[in-house]
Structure 1
Amino acid sequence: MAYELYYWDGIQGRGEFVRLALEEAGAEYVDIVREPGRGTGAMFDIIGSEHEPHIPFAPPFLKDGEVIIPHVANILLYLGPKLGLAPGDESLRYVANGLQLTVTDFVAEVHDTHHPIDLSRYYEEQKQEAKARSAAFIRERIPKYLGYFERVLRQNPKGTDHVVGGTLTYVDLSLFQVIEGLTYAFPKAMAKRKADYPLLLALHDTVAKRPNIARYLASPRRLAFNEDGIFRHYPELDGTE
């Protein structure tokens, strides 16, 4: 039975972290909202259900038969062992989950660079606040997070090819997406920092060349970054430190 992924259409967003794992593993899945005749109605049927005992708060969520799993890190914790994308050592699976939760925190901060005041207001209504937030993000938060992940890679007892353990995990895929997104959103700021994170950038390049990922990136299933998603490129927010 195919996995069912529920997320907004038209953007990569948080759902992309799950898609990358499914695509790398060659897993059978259906991106429900993108299916003809389904749309967001299928997603809200579950979120707004008066009968489903374990309703998710918001997308993304994954449906595996009768099981519904919400939240990116939670979904990947569930999928990782099934897809061969989690460490074999059970204790390291929790290390991987902790790293993924840190990615979740980072992605939330990325989102807040363009919506620092009010999620219900357009970016154009909070541009000045966004400039201040982005300047602080570029100056302090990018080095804080990327420096941490670079150090984790450098100190991995199994070598610097992967962030946890000695084989590819979903965290490696997620860090690929983080670098992709930051490079799109803040190209000038990221260009200045490339030399600071050689291991992360090498990991990014290695993931991009993996056969299943390369095919996915070249396919129409991989939506382009745009200014409706989490990683948005507004030139006035880039390099404002």
Structure 2
Amino acid sequence: MSIDLWYWPEIPGRGEFVRLFCEAGEIDYADMAREQSGDALVEHMHALEGRRPYAPPYIVDGEVVIGQTALILQYLSDKEGLGSGEMETDLQLLQLQMDISDLVEEVHSVHHPVASELFYADQMDSAFEKAGYFRAQRIPKHLIHFDNAIATSGGPFCLGQQWSHVDTSLFQVMEGLDYAFPNYMKTMQGSWPHLEGLQGAVPEIESLAEYLASEQRLDFNENGIFRHYDELDEQ
């Protein structure tokens, strides 16, 4: 049975982490807001009752409704048998996925350091200051952490030769950072070789290649999480 994915239709955002895993794992899903509209997403979310998700992305699988990217991916991984098969290792993968969520939130806070409700133009000075610290301190700290996790298995994936939801998400992170901070990432090339190897290996997952080359794969843009502004990528 197909699952319903609800996320904003105009941006890759957090929804893309779910799309990539579903495509790689050949999980049937309907991208509901892209088939209908952003207004339909808002209407559907507000109609949910009980312990409903706070914000998209969320999935509907029969009677099951789950929000939060890391939990969605863990749920689908367990359901489809795409984890390691060992509880301790799968919990470590979930831990890494939550670390990815932390990094994604930090990326967003670079261009919106004061408030999400304000436009970028209203907080440019603060964003410029935040970006310098983010490039110098936070990106290396996060990426070295993930690089070490891959190195533990010998690569190219976190589980060695077997890919997982962590790998498709790290691929999206690396692609997003290359888009948002191209000068910085080029300067730092070679600093996290296992991550760079993973970035090259994920597109070779046979079931994912067609999606990555299709129009279904949304481009990064300045309405999403990973945004490029020249002034935030100064070296």
Which of residues 191, 210, 218 is equivalent to 2:186? 191
Give how far 1:46 is off.
3.4
- The residue number in structure 1 matching 2:196 is 201
1:48 maps to which of 26, 46, 49? 46
Question: AA paired with 1:99?
Answer: L
What amino acid does structure 1 have at the position aligned with 2:66?
Answer: I
Q: Deviations over 1:194-231 (max 9, x none)?
A: 11111110111010122222211111110111000000
Q: Number of aligned residue pairs: give it.
A: 235
For the residues of structure 1 that align with 2:222 and 2:204, how far apart are their CA atoms?
Answer: 26
Superposition map of 1:1-241 within 5 A: 1-35=1-35, 38-49=36-47, 52-156=49-153, 159-164=154-159, 166-240=161-235
Residue aligned with 2:188, SS? helix
TM-score (norm 2): 0.96
Give secondary structure in 2 for the equivalent of 1:26: coil
* Inter-partner Cα distance in structure 2 for 1:46 and 1:90: 34
CA distance in 1, matches of 2:215, 2:80: 23
Gaps of 5+ in 1: none
Give deviations 1:71-96, integer Å, cap 9, x for gaps.
00010110012234311111111000
Cα distance, 1:42 vs structure 2 = 3.0
Structure 1 counterpart of 2:73, which letter? Answer: L
Which residues of structure 2 form unaligned runs of 5+? Answer: none
Find the aligned partners of 1:58 and 1:42 in 2 and give their Cα distance: 14
Structure 2 distance, partners of 1:104, 1:174, is 9
Contact 1:225/1:231, CA 8 A, preserved across alignment: yes
Residue 54 of structure 1 deviates from its aligned partner by 2.6
Once the two structures are aligned, what percentage of the paired residues are identical? 42
Q: Is the 8 A contact 1:95 1:164 kept in 2?
A: no
Cα deviation for residue 101 of structure 1 reads 0.1
* Alignment check: 8 A CA contact 1:25 1:84 kept: no
The Cα shift of 1:47 comes to: 2.4
- Deviation track 1:87-145 (CA, whole Å, cap 9, x = no partner) reads 11111110000000000000000000100001111001111110000000000000000
> Runs of 4+ in structure 1 displaced over 3 angstroms?
none
CA RMSD of aligned residues (A): 1.3
The Cα shift of 1:236 comes to 0.7
| TM-score, normalization by structure 1 | 0.94
How far apart are residue 40 of structure 1 and its match? 2.5
Which deviations, in whole Å up to 9, do the C-alpha atoms of 1:42-74 show, x marking residues without a partner? 32233222x622311100000001110000001
The DSSP-based 3-state class of the residue aligned with 1:62 is strand
